[in-house]
């Protein structure tokens, strides 16, 4: 297996017995106070010397992260991309080898604005329509309708027609597949697939002539400006705790920004960023807590909690990836992006088995509100991992070298993982609620199957399940391990 190598380009149409506990990671991964989201490193669309190229262009985004500094009240955003904060300086026109030229406004294709959706509507456009979308203009040279700053109650507009770009995510995906060698891989929007229902009509065909389904990528207007934006360098981000080692690849440009947290930024959110050409965008799913002190910080626990009240389902559980194919009792996941939530049926058991060079390296999070006690056990082969696990906990298999021995495998790049593992003691609340895990692999895209079975249980009201999954190892070395063949 090979790690993704950095390219450049130019836009056209836990330890044994001591598992760390963190807040449920929604869909992004919560580490050391930052929410991280990884984007595919092969799905940007641009030109190199006039020739169309898909993947590795100047527009490629490899991921981003968001952090709240509770001492200063600031929100920090870190972006890992090939494109600098000033964008791509194209001049007044961008021409391709066929002879077609596109007029470019402001002589550059810049970053769009970032939109924060705390509305709870579950839909990108509805958040605008309800007047609850917050926007941040951080790029000083884009075509936004407002000055740099933080705004509440924003409307959105599409400026891609002035930047050799696309109508929406549907058109972008079609061009990428028609002009690139994606194979069975798909284009991605970070924590979400480009056709996720959150994007609504923007993942269906659009029309320039009738202004139909044109996806907003900058702020059109705003009800109120609520703060300034401070641009942050890579060094400043890393001092604040931003960890580039989390990503599969480091882009040519690492930058970010910070701002004072507005009062509305509480709870689960979608943070979406697009470029002016609606090329390689991404969405991060996260959660921010109320900064006001809890008036009852130590409430008495409920001695007999009702099912489904131990914790709430997160945004990631509501946006899981489904199998690409089903053959009898076996489900196939072909080239899904790493570290997301994967969805089997409820009340069943599954055997997950890797294919090709994929390894499972870590469980990032366990689901909320799908099991009577939200507690599960994990085994690798016939070796149980000590303890029980639930929402907000994770398992890094590389930390169990003395326990797992030869069941741990090292790939050609020194990344450690396992070929399979099981999760049992699944007691579903009902037959309609699927059991999910947030998982990933030793590489950006992985392949695996899961074969269903039913396992006998002591009580007729419960059906034990089995699930194999994992997530990206970050280079931890082991004393005992196999080499991947």
Looking at the DSSP bridge assignments, the partners of residue 395 are 363
**Pair (161, 255) in one structural domain:** yes
Instruction: Indicate whether 308 belongs to any domain.
Output: no
**Pair (336, 247) in one structural domain:** no
Q: What is the pLDDT of residue 366?
A: 87
Cβ contacts of 72 within 8 Å, gap of 6 or more: none
Helix (H), strand (E) at residue 76: strand 74-81
Range of the domain at 447: 320-483
pLDDT per 10-residue tile (average), the chain, 485 residues:
31 34 57 94 91 94 97 97 96 91 95 97 96 97 96 97 96 95 91 94 96 97 97 98 95 98 96 96 91 54 48 72 77 79 55 86 86 84 91 92 94 93 79 75 86 47 33 29 44
Which region holds residue 369: left if phi is over 0, alpha if psi is between -120 and 50, else beta? left
Instruction: Give CA–CA dist 225/148, Å, rounded.
Output: 10
Token pair belonging to 263: 């009062």
Q: What is the pLDDT of residue 10?
A: 40
Token pair belonging to 136: 């941040």
Q: How many domains does the chain have?
A: 2
- Predicted confidence (pLDDT) per residue in 146-170, tens digit: 999 999 999 999 999 999 999 999 9
**Pair (338, 479) in one structural domain:** yes
Instruction: Indicate whether 140 belongs to any domain.
Output: yes
Closest CA to 319 of 423, 216, 188: 188
**Pair (237, 115) in one structural domain:** yes
The dihedral built from the CA positions of residue 135, 141, 145 and 150, taken in this order, carries a sign that is positive
Is the CB of residue 246 less than 8 Å from the CB of residue 72?
A: no
Instruction: Indicate whether 9 belongs to any domain.
Output: no
DSSP state of 15: B
Is the CB of residue 276 less than 8 Å from the CB of residue 83?
A: no
- Residue tagged 């070298």 (tokens): 401
Q: What is the pLDDT of residue 336?
A: 79
**Pair (282, 332) in one structural domain:** no
**Pair (272, 383) in one structural domain:** no
DSSP state of 318: H
Instruction: Give CA–CA dist 210/128, Å, rounded.
Output: 20
Q: What is the pLDDT of residue 431?
A: 67
Of 267, 288, 309, the domain-final residue: 288
Looking at the DSSP bridge assignments, the partners of residue 269 are 286
Of 288, 303, 330, the domain-final residue: 288
Instruction: Indicate whether 296 belongs to any domain.
Output: no
Instruction: Indicate whether 312 belongs to any domain.
Output: no
**Pair (242, 384) in one structural domain:** no
Q: What is the pLDDT of residue 300?
A: 57
Token pair belonging to 215: 């996806």
Burial of 255 (0-12, 13-18, 19+ CB in 10 A): buried
Q: What is the pLDDT of residue 150?
A: 98
Under DSSP, is residue 161 helix (H, G, I), strand (E, B) or coil? helix
Q: What is the pLDDT of residue 332?
A: 78
Instruction: Indicate whether 221 belongs to any domain.
Output: yes
Burial of 335 (0-12, 13-18, 19+ CB in 10 A): middle
Is the CB of residue 315 less than 8 Å from the CB of residue 285?
A: yes
Instruction: Give CA–CA dist 63/336, Å, rounded.
Output: 16
**Pair (71, 196) in one structural domain:** yes
**Pair (276, 383) in one structural domain:** no
Helix (H), strand (E) at residue 188: strand 188-189
Q: What is the pLDDT of residue 422?
A: 84
Of 288, 307, 341, the domain-final residue: 288
Q: How many CA atoms lie within 13 A of 202 on its CB side?
A: 25
**Pair (268, 156) in one structural domain:** yes
Q: What is the pLDDT of residue 357?
A: 92
Burial of 467 (0-12, 13-18, 19+ CB in 10 A): buried
Q: What is the pLDDT of residue 318?
A: 73
DSSP state of 393: B
Is the CB of residue 111 less than 8 Å from the CB of residue 273?
A: yes
Instruction: Give CA–CA dist 258/238, Å, rounded.
Output: 13
Instruction: Indicate whether 67 belongs to any domain.
Output: yes
Q: What is the pLDDT of residue 485?
A: 45
How many Cβ atoms from other residues are within 10 Å of residue 341's Cβ?
26
Largest separation between any pair of C-alpha atoms in the chain: 73
**Pair (161, 259) in one structural domain:** yes
Rounded to 5°, the CA angle 186-170-200 comes to 105
**Pair (272, 411) in one structural domain:** no
Q: What is the pLDDT of residue 212?
A: 97
Instruction: Give CA–CA dist 165/162, Å, rounded.
Output: 7
């Amino acid at each position: 297996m090979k790690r993704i190598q950095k390219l450049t380009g130019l836009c056209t149409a836990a330890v044994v017995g001591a598992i760390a506990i963190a807040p449920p990671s929604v869909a992004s991964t919560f580490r050391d106070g930052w929410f991280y989201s990884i984007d595919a490193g092969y799905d940007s669309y641009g030109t190199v010397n006039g020739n169309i190229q898909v993947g590795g262009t100047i527009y490629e985004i490899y991921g981003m992260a968001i952090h709240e500094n509770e001492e200063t009240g600031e929100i920090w955003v870190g972006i890992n991309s090939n494109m600098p904060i000033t964008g791509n300086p194209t001049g007044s026109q961008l021409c391709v080898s066929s002879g077609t030229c596109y007029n470019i406004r402001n002589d550059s294709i810049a970053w769009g604005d970032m939109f924060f959706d705390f509305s709870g509507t579950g839909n990108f456009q509805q958040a605008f329509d309800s007047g609850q979308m917050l926007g941040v203009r951080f790029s000083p040279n884009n075509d936004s309708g407002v000055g740099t700053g933080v705004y509440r109650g924003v409307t959105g507009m599409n400026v891609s027609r002035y930047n050799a770009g696309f109508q929406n995510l549907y058109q972008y995906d079609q061009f990428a597949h028609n002009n690139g060698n994606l194979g069975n891989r798909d284009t991605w929007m970070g924590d979400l697939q480009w056709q996720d229902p959150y994007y609504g009509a923007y993942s269906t065909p659009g029309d320039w002539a009738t202004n139909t389904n044109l996806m907003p990528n900058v702020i059109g207007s705003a009800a109120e400006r609520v703060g300034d934006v401070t641009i942050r360098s890579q060094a400043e981000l890393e001092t604040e705790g931003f960890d580039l080692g989390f990503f599969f690849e480091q882009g040519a440009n690492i930058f970010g920004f910070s701002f004072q947290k507005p009062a509305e930024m509480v709870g689960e959110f979608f943070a979406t960023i697009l470029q002016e050409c609606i090329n390689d965008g991404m969405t991060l799913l996260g959660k921010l807590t109320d900064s006001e002190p809890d008036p009852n910080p130590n409430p008495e626990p409920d001695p007999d909690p009702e099912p489904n009240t131990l914790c709430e389902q997160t945004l990631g559980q509501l946006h899981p990836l489904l199998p690409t194919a089903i053959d009898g009792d076996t489900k196939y996941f072909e080239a899904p992006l790493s570290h997301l939530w994967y969805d089997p049926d409820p009340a069943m058991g599954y055997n997950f088995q890797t294919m090709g060079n994929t390894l499972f390296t870590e469980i990032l999070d366990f689901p909320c509100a799908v099991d009577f006690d939200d507690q599960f056990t994990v085994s690798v082969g016939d070796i149980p991992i000590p303890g029980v696990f639930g929402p907000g906990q994770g398992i890094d298999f590389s930390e169990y070298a003395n326990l797992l021995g030869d069941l741990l495998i090292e790939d050609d790049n020194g990344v450690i993982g396992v070929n399979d593992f099981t999760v049992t003691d699944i007691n579903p609340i009902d037959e309609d609620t699927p059991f999910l895990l947030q998982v990933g692999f030793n590489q950006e895209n992985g392949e695996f199957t899961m074969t269903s079975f039913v396992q006998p249980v002591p009580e007729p009201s419960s059906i034990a399940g089995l699930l194999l999954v994992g997530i990206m190892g970050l280079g931890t070395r082991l004393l005992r391990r196999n080499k991947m063949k």
